[in-house]
Every structure is written in structure tokens, then in C-alpha cells.
Amino acid sequence: MSIREELSFVNVSEDVRQAITTAGSSTEIFIYIIGLFISFTFLCALCFSSTLHVNLRVVLGSLTVSLCLTAICKVCISISKIIHTGWTQHDIDVLIFLWRICMPSVCYHMVLLSFERLLATVKSTTYEKQSLIFIICGIIASIWLLSYASVNMQFYIKVEKKLRAGIMLLFYIICISMALLIIYFVHRYNYSNWKKRRGLMIFSESYQVRENIRTARFINRIFILFGTLFSISIVIYIGIGFATNSLLGLILSVMFDIVCSLPCSLIPLIVINGEERMYRRYKQIFQKCKVVFFFIAE
């Protein structure tokens, strides 16, 4: 007998359902708060460090901001589930709408990150001296517009709800799959290029290729982590759609929210642990934040 069939015979009271929701929301809030603190200190480390190329720092910073905004919206939504906040249903609907915009923006930022690494590889001879901040900022603005449009579009597509969700899901899967493929080929090309032309490159090209290989250590881990969590969340999301039992649907929803809360803390930690100079800078800022926190607490 499957889990779904076993749960179909379980008669669960409303109090138990509320307890599951409260436990799941509390866990999610706890993970997000830790993630917000890690992300905030990581953003400070990015701003005050010149370890990474400026273009990469802007993309990573924007990705982290996107994760933070997602976390803030979801924390507010989760708090409204477990305590009386005095917010109207309209306020909660606005938060849910903003959260739905923030979620796909994280996926689009991963695509942008892969293209930034592709550009750093293709233009390795000149990329070291190139600052594309304004272009990247324009792309980031377009990402938020695309996120807004993709969320709005779901309400205007005149098809069945499950089919509409499936279309958007397929689009996100294509985006992440494309980003993963780009990173995979960029990684292979950089290593192959370094082995073949190590003694033949001019200084600027040699520096950029070495930089690409060095940053690949944590960039690859980011994509492996995100790809894994994304795949797990997709499986759970599909399970929610096909769950015929309300208890199973509730448990899967709690699992989905917890999985989605992990990137906010794990992605910054991967960068920090993968880059020694960034780790030292982060440690300094973390110590200062701890002192300020304890000073405020007292």
C-alpha cells in the first residue's frame, strides 16, 4: 500500500492540521531568519571586497538580494499563518503576489550568472578590464519585469489551472537546465584551455582564465546545490498537484516551503567557503555584526 493510500484512511482533526502548519511555518521562519542574517553579512562582504570581478559581484549581489526579498515576503506570510497579525486579507494577498514574483527572479538570476561566466570565458583576453555594471543592472531590471510578467501571465492564460502551472513549470525547468548546461561546458572549456595554452597566453588572458577556474570551485557548487533543490521542489510540487488526500497535500506543502527556504543561507555560505579572501572579509563583518547585535540586545 502506498503512502497516499495509507493516509487516505487517516482522519485528522483541524487541531492536528494547525499543529502541522505551525510546526512547518516555525521551521521555515527559523531557516529564513538565519538565511537573512547570513545573506546580509555576505552582501556587506561583497560591497567591501574586490576579491571577485566587479561584474560577478553585481550578479551575486543581485541574486542574494532576490533571495532576501523572497525570504522577507515568506516570513511575513508564515507569521500570518501562526499568529494574529491584524493584517487584512488584501495585505496577505499582496505579500503572496510579491513572493510569487521573487521566486522566479531567483531562477532568472541563475541564468544571468551562467551567462556572466560564459562571457568571462569567451572574452577572457579583455574581460579583466571590462566593467559592464550598467548593462548588468539593465538586465537585472528586465529580470524583475519578466518575473512580474510571468506571474501576471498565469492569470490571463485561458487554460485549466493544472495545465497553466505545468506550462510555467516547464519554462522554469528549461531556464535552469540551460543554465546548468552553460556552466558545465564553461567549466570543461576553461580547464581544457588552461591545460593546452597555459604557457602561451598573454598576462591578462592568463589571469582571467585562472580567475574563471578559481571561481568555478564555488560557482559549480552553487549550481549543483540549486539544481538539486530545484529538482526536489519540482517533484514535491508535482506531488502536491496530484495529492488526493488533504493531509498528504499539507505535508508536501510544508516540505516544499522548507526546501525553498534553504538557498537563502546555503548559496552565500558556498561562496564564502569557496573563496578564502571572501571568507576572511565575511568573518570580520560577522564579528562586527555580532558586537552590534549584543549591544542592541543589552
Please give the average per-residue pLDDT across 227-233, as a whole number: 92
What distances in angstroms separate CA 264 from CA 11, 28, 69, 185, 275, one per listed residue?
Answer: 36, 11, 10, 26, 18
Q: pLDDT confidence of 70, banded at 50, 70, 90?
A: very high
* Residue among 70, 69, 113 nearest 271 (CA): 113
pLDDT tens for residues 234-255?
999 888 877 767 778 888 888 9
pLDDT of residue 9 exceeding 50, the answer is: no
Whether the pLDDT of residue 16 is over 70: the answer is: yes
pTM, entire model: 0.84
Mean pLDDT within 262-281: 86
Enter the C-alpha cell of residue 155. Answer: 492569470
Chain centroid to Cα 242, Å, comes to 26
- What is the C-alpha radius of gyration for the chain, rounded to an integer number of angstroms? 22
Q: What's the pLDDT band for 51 if we cut at 50, 70, 90?
A: confident
Count of other CB atoms within 10 angstroms of residue 211: 18
> Domains of the chain (ranges plus CATH)?
16-297 (1.20.1070.10)
